[in-house]
Structure 1
Amino acid sequence: MKHETVKVQCSTPTPGKKPTRILKWKYESISAAIIKILSARANSGVRFSELSGLVENLIGDEVMKELGSASWYTTTVKLDLEAKGIVQRVPGSSPQVIKLSDKASRGPQRAI
């Protein structure tokens, strides 16, 4: 499968950390999967430790072959979505649980 080589910048909510640039098709694949997963579990959220495996199952083998490290890309895109206010950490959760933010739950959001 041929993909474009355009890159997007992924921010992080951690002050002082430099943004990371990844291929747009990878960002779009992962962000769409994360949002779909969190939408399906809107009430409970998802443990961050489980998110990568859920993303892998959702995007399928063909995309996984070209993606590389699902765990690394899931973390990078999750941090960007968090920095944009689309996803949020559930306060006081340990291990970390994430869910769609109230802002994202109110209506459609563009991930990029």
Structure 2
Amino acid sequence: MSDQDMIVALHPDPAKQGTRVTKATYDSYRAALLQVIPAAADGVPFTALRELVLPHLPAGLSETTSPGWWTTTVKLDLEARGLIERVPGSKPQMVRRTAT
């Protein structure tokens, strides 16, 4: 796999390094997450994201990847890029799209 096929998924904690991932898989999980994470004030539970993204992934991708790992990694990247945010004070952790 060439370097052009890889990207760095960022982490919202600046003390932590990003993770090199395949761009095609990242793009699929990114699109799925942005479809299922609402902009509504109460958001969606982080624990529900894995199951929510599955129907939005290309056929067979969830069988050849680890949906839990990818959902978490791409969610953290979307947080770092300011596209989603954690709902302050929510337990369990809730996430929502940002106003941008």
The aligned residue for residue 7 of structure 1 is 6
Counterpart amino acid of residue 88 in structure 1: E
Structure 2: distance between partners of 1:60 and 1:47: 23
Residue matched to 1:86: 83
Per-residue deviation at 1:63? Answer: 1.7
In the alignment, which residue of structure 1 is the partner of 2:97?
A: 100
Distance 2:22 2:86 in 1: 25
Partner of 1:32: 31
Mark the runs of 5 or more structure 2 residues left unpaired by the alignment: none
Deviates more, 1:77-86 or 1:11-20: 11-20
* Stretches of 4+ aligned residues off by more than 4 angstroms: none
SS of aligned partner of 2:13: coil
Give the distance between the partners of 2:76 and 2:86, measured in 1 at CA. Answer: 10
Unaligned 5+ segments in structure 1 are 104-112
Aligned to 2:16, the other structure's residue is in SS state coil
1:8-87 matched pairs, under 5 angstroms? 8-38=7-37, 41-43=38-40, 44-59=42-57, 61-66=59-64, 68-87=65-84
Alpha-carbon distance in structure 2 between the residues aligned to 1:49 and 1:74: 10
CA distance in 2, matches of 1:83, 1:72: 17
Instruction: Give me the TM-score of the superposition, normalised by structure 1.
Output: 0.79
Q: How much does 1:60 deviate? A: 5.2
Percent identity of equivalent pairs: 39
Point out which structure has higher relative CO (alpha carbons under 8 A, 6+ apart): 2
Q: Number of aligned pairs?
A: 96
